[in-house]
Amino acid sequence: YQAKESGETYQFYRPEMNAATAKRLNLENRLRRALERHEFTLAYQPQVDFRSGRITGVEALVRWLDPEEGVILPGTFIPLAEETGLILPLGRWVLEQACAQTKRWHEQGFKHLKVAVNLSMVQFHQKDLLEMVQEILQRTRLEPRFLELELTESAVMRNPGTAIRILSELRDAGIQIALDDFGIGHSSLNYLKQLPVDRVKIDRSFIRNMPVDSADVAIVTAIVTLAHHLRLRVLAEGVETDAQRDALRSIGCDEYQGYVFSRPVDPGDLVPLLQQCLHAPRDLS
Ligand code: C2E
Ligand code: MG
Ligand code: MG
Ligand code: MG
């Protein structure tokens, strides 16, 4: 046996270890190193209001800039970061970066811009979550109402009682909450009624075949109607075409996010988009 130290745990390489395990271990070690070397960056995707055509917020999306492999998307490393606990320091870094950047945009005159940050279930259940978030807001001097935390519907529904308590604390502190990937989890409508959230983000899978697939149109219409009755705002994710956007607008969806308006961009590339929207005579969307 050959042991190799990686952080506080020892991992053993065995001859019979399969390729998948070796690859995973390699990824874990690289992830740990990337965190120490600050190889992460955030891209921001605009969220557009249907009514005004303006960018009301941005979603922060983490990327790993690996010196050898280039840009690595979160789908590749977030699950492992969650399993290993590395999501806690990484998530804290993401939150701090996103808040600091948004404060900078405010100082550049885009005073109403909100930022949405994804929280994994592991972060959601960390004991000092509220304190950590509040400390970052104070340090970056961003008002809590400009921060929205995104939690997936499935993460929240795994333990609704606890979720309601944690979400209430965050909302009492002035932070906004969004239910991400809505519609694919197993949400009991009874809980949705009780959940202290501000908006739902309809999962991309329901948008993809709109408006051709009439079942998807019906589902999205039902979600929008229900959400509005519960006084929640609705954002559609993954909007790629004009036809999808038009259908969502006529259904009464409040906001959208997707390649049809913009891909996630570097912070510097957001400013022209923000300016374009500010000077838009009317509905740009
Ligand atoms: P999500 O929160 O549902 O984010 C939306 C994903 O859809 C992003 O993928 C975004 O780039 C992509 N997207 C946006 N518009 C379109 C479109 O029009 N078409 C298509 N096909 N895709 C679109 P990304 O950046 O690869 O992130 C994937 C997931 O990784 C996110 O899903 C989120 O669950 C997770 N994630 C990203 N950043 C973080 C983070 O900082 N912390 C945590 N815990 N999770 C994160
Ligand atoms: Mg999200
Ligand atoms: Mg989503
Ligand atoms: Mg998603």
Concatenated DSSP letters of 190-206: HHHHH---SEEEE-HHH
Q: Relative to the CA of 62, which ligand 1 atom is closest?
A: 38
ipTM: 0.98
Which candidate, 131, 125, 129, 101, places its Cα nearest to that of 114? 101
| Greatest CA separation for the chain | 69
pLDDT tens track for 54-106: 999 999 999 999 988 999 999 999 999 999 999 999 999 999 999 999 999 99
* 62 CB within 6 A, ligand 1: yes
127 Cβ contact partners less than 8 Å away, ≥ 6 residues apart: none
- What's the rounded mean pLDDT across residues 20-48? 91
Ligand 1 pocket residue status of 78, Cβ below 6 Å: yes
Q: Tell me the whole-structure pTM to 2 decimals.
A: 0.92
pLDDT for 97: 98
What mean pLDDT comes out for the span 146-169?
92
3-state percent breakdown (helix, strand, coil) of the chain, nearest 5: 45, 20, 30
Rounded to the nearest 5°, which phi and psi values hold at 241? -125, 160
Alpha helices in the chain (DSSP H): 19-36, 74-84, 87-107, 121-124, 129-140, 153-157, 160-172, 189-194, 204-207, 214-229, 242-251, 267-278
Q: What would the pLDDT profile of 217-275 be if each residue is shown by its tens digit?
A: 999 999 999 999 999 999 999 999 999 999 999 999 999 999 999 999 999 999 999 99
- Per the structure block, which two tokens stand in for 146? 């400009």
Smallest CA separation from ligand 1 atom 27, residue: 74
